[in-house]
Each structure stands twice: as C-alpha cells, then as structure tokens.
Amino acid sequence: MFQPTQNIDTVFRAMRMVMLVVIGGCLCISLYALYQNVQLSARMQDRVYVLANGKAMEVVASSRTENLEVEARDHVAMFHHWFFTLDPDEQAITTTITRALYMADGSAKTQYDDLVETGYISGIISGNVSQQIHIDSIRVNTTTAPYQFACYGKVQILRSTSLVTRSLVTQGYLRNVSRTDHNPHGLLIEKWEVTENKDLKVEMR
C-alpha cells in the first residue's frame, strides 16, 4: 500500500537532486562565461585597430615604462644625429640644429653657440665640409629619474683633401616632458656635455 508512495518520494528526491545539479552547473557556466567576457573586454580596451592600405592592423597599447629604455636610446640617438650631421649649407645646418635643440635644454644651445663663436660652423660652410656621426652604443639608466645616459660614437669629417675620424663620448640626463610633434618621445636632454672628442685617424684623399 505504501510502496508506490515511497517510490514517488524517491523519484522526486532524485529529480530534485538532478535539478539542483543542473541549476548549479548552469550557474557555474554562466559565472565563468561572465568572467571571461569581462577579461576579454579588458584586453580589447588595450587594442586599437588602424586601417592602412585597406588592411586592419592591430596596435597594442602599453605603459610608458615598458618601452622607456628603447625610447630613451632612440631619443639620444636622434638628438646626436641632428646635432652632429652637418652639411656645407647654412639653411641645412639651421634645420638640423633646430630639430636637435627641441630635444634638449639650454646645455645643447650653449654647445652650439660655442661652435658658432669659435668659427667651426662657418668653417664647415666655407670649406665645403660634410660631417656625419656613427653611434656605437648608448647606455641609459632608467631606474631613477632623471635618467643618466652616455653616448659613444665616431664622427667623420669629410674635407676636400682628407677624411678625419674622431671619437665622441657625451653624457647627460633625460627627464620626462609632454610629447609633441617636435619631441615625440616626451623626453628632454639635460646637462649635456661632450666628455671626449679626439682624432682617431686621418686619411688623405
């Protein structure tokens, strides 16, 4: 007489247990899917897609500290390139020196003024001299600001009768400033000085 009732009760308990397991499983899956969606949204916010020549290119955002050392070395390299690459043309010299001075403070302007006063710049123009720099290495300490750096390279001075190769070592500090078109790295060279500039060899032409 009570057997069917007990069977129904047992089946009902089993069904309730199955339903609880199914509901719990659905809840876990929903929470996991929601978590993954939040993580994906966070990752997507760090990405920008740029359309170039009909192709979508992904640009990944990164913090300043991740690329600081690379940017610092490139800033120092570009400054030295613009400052020491000189051709026998007054307008060309003005253009390159102006680009360099946007990347440094008054210490670079002082060095340039000294070159003008000693007649070095006028000698390049009147003597049809070309000057180029080849950077060997740049060391930057990015642990504490302002960031100390040292630049090692060689300067080649091409005259009508000779090719002079000189060693060049400079040092200074870098501090953070706002990024601009003239200063895309957002760094400024301070207390810049030339610590070595001597002849290595002279080749007659």
Report which of 47, 78, 106 is spatially closest to residue 185, judged by C-alpha positions: 78
Mean pLDDT of 127-144: 92
pLDDT at 110: 93
Pick 65 or 98 by higher pLDDT: 98
Looking at mean pLDDT, say which of 63-67, 78-82, 156-160 comes out highest.
78-82
Distance CA 89, CA 160 (A): 15
Rg (CA), the chain: 33
User: Can you tell me which residue has the tokens 């200074």?
Assistant: 172
Sign of CA dihedral 54, 58, 63, 67: negative
Strand, helix or coil for residue 26: helix
Q: How confident is the model at residue 34 (pLDDT cuts 50, 70, 90)?
A: confident
Q: How confident is the model at residue 68 (pLDDT cuts 50, 70, 90)?
A: confident
pLDDT, tens digit, 9 for 90 and up, residues 72-111: 999 999 999 999 999 999 999 999 999 999 999 999 999 9
Beta partners for residue 126, in sequence order: none
Distance CA 104, CA 106 (A): 7
| Burial of 100 from C-beta contacts in 10 A (0-12 / 13-18 / 19+) | buried
**Total count of residues recorded for the chain:** 205
Q: How confident is the model at residue 22 (pLDDT cuts 50, 70, 90)?
A: confident
Strand, helix or coil for residue 174: strand
| Burial of 192 from C-beta contacts in 10 A (0-12 / 13-18 / 19+) | buried
The region of weakest confidence among 8-22, 54-68, 76-90 is 54-68
Q: How confident is the model at residue 57 (pLDDT cuts 50, 70, 90)?
A: low
**Residue 51 vs residues 41, 55, 56: alpha-carbon distances, Å:** 21, 5, 5
Burial 73-93 (b: 16+ CB within 10 A, else e): bebbebbbbbbbbbbbeeeeb
Beta partners for residue 189, in sequence order: 104, 174
| Assigned superfamily of 65-204 | VirB8 protein (3.10.450.230)
Domain locations in the chain? 3-58, 65-204
Mean pLDDT over all residues of the chain?
A: 85
Percent of the chain whose predicted confidence (pLDDT) is above 70 = 84
Q: Residue 130: CB partners within 8 Å, gap ≥ 6?
A: 86, 87, 88, 157, 158
